[in-house]
Amino acid sequence: MVVDVFPGYAMSGISASLLALGNPLATIFTGLFISYITVSGFQLQVYGYVPEIVEIVTAAIIYCSAFVMLIGIFFEKRAKRLPGKAAKEAGQ
């Protein structure tokens, strides 16, 4: 029987790695970012905020961060594709 299990740490590590896009150096900084948000959430509970609301706000911040990165990757790929397409059409 396992008594001490920390299931939240595994999910925090996975989300930090995904936000860092697998970059080892960026994983350190995203881990610090997520830990800062988590510790801030614990501090908000001292002021009377419900833990569920704090977790929802924390998840929303992490999802918004991931969404911003996803949009950035989308526009970067689109910018690489458009100049080649314009040059191909001009050559025809």
**Above 60 in pLDDT, residue 92?**
no
pLDDT digits 0-9 by tens, 46-82: 888 888 888 888 889 888 988 988 898 888 888 888 7
H/E/C letters for each residue in 4-64?
CCCHHHHHHHHHHHHHCCCCHHHHHHHHHHHHHHHHHHHHHHHCCCCHHHHHHHHHHHHHH
Among candidate residues 63, 49, 68, the one with its CA nearest the CA of residue 40: 49
Taking only the tens place, the pLDDT of each residue in 25-36 is: 998 999 899 889
Per DSSP, the three-state class of 50 is: coil
Q: Where are the domains of the chain?
A: 7-91
